[in-house]
Amino acid sequence: MQTSPADDLNALDDEAFRHVVRRWVAENYPPEIRNPPKRLHWRENKVWYLKLAEKGWLAPGWPREYGGMGLSAGKQLIMIEEFERFGCARTNDHGVVMVGPLLIRYGSEAQKRSFLPKILSGEHIWCQGYSEPNAGSDLAALRTEAVLDGDHWVINGQKTWTTLATDANWIFLLARTDKAAKKQEGISFFLVPMDAPGVTVRPIINLELHDEFCETFFDNVRVPKENLVGEVNKGWTMAKALLGFERIFLGSPRQSAYALIRLKRLAEHVGCADDPLFRDRYTRLRLDLADHRALYETHVAKLRRGEALGADVSMLKVHQSELFQRITDAMMEIAGEEGGLLEPIEGNRDLHPAGLFIQARPTSIYGGTNEIQRNILAKNVLDLPG
């Protein structure tokens, strides 16, 4: 079936839609970046981003009037499933997934006209400025501040774990604009160009020698008043709206599924695949992944029915991150001396036990720590003291 960007794919039934997506991805995805072992930089995934943009498939959830596909939640999930099935790399998607939907909901018409087309064209690549030293999971404890000076806001402070900040030319951030207010009520949401005087980015090199994360400093950075989104001191409400979407994204079984396949291949490589003890452990992990898929599907089904997700969506993030870690623990235990390699095993780029082990460690921290998620479940699902 031939389609064009102008087609409303919501009109297709789910199986026909899945077939259209699967065939197009197979024909257009660059094979050299399939199943990348690390998060790719803009220079590496730009070609895929622009292919999606040209097709009109870059922003499945945006309304069609703003250049998106206007897809239902169910069909968006089918797209994600097909991309994951094919091993597509995640693009620099903070503009599409986070700030774009926020501007559509809360931005002024001038902001929508200025920023949305540049996200779709790849002219603007965004990063997120939420976390700070001593204000990660307790996001409302942030200390970066913005003070109004004539027609400009003057921003001072520091952000950390700004994913792929070295690739971005814009950052959206939260800053305190009223120190006297309750900590959730004195926060505002700003759009800041990364080339503004006073912005400094420093990559944080992790144990895998990858520079995905950065720290970003703001030293008397001046931005026009028009770069404030929504109302002054109302940024917390907008920030929470973005975090709700992130929970189900982080609960996807894709990381654990990818790791479990590598665990089996690693066992075959080191010669323990038929060992009864390994087979018992592998089977338990495989059953845990099946349980997680079932849990994920219950929440996906709610989205497909157009229902709002409840606080129990936090279970997804907790279970997925801890399962991912247990799988990579098993990889390291059977890898022997090859578990200490900073690069994939020679001759097999898909096997990199130390890389996956390192990638699994922060998953129980980012996106709201598992301790925070358990408090949410205790208070809002089990009706226990948090």
Cα 25 to Cα 66: distance, rounded to the nearest angstrom: 23
Are the C-beta atoms of residues 316 and 250 closer than 8 Å to each other? yes
CA geometry: angle at 276 spanning 274 and 277, to 5°?
A: 120
Cα 379 to Cα 381: distance, rounded to the nearest angstrom: 6
Burial 178-188 (b: 16+ CB within 10 A, else e): eeeeebeebbb
Catalytic residue IDs: 246
CA-based radius of gyration for the chain? 22
Residue 148 β-bridge partners: 153
Are the C-beta atoms of residues 385 and 375 closer than 8 Å to each other? no
Cα 363 to Cα 318: distance, rounded to the nearest angstrom: 9
Amino acid occupying residue 103? L
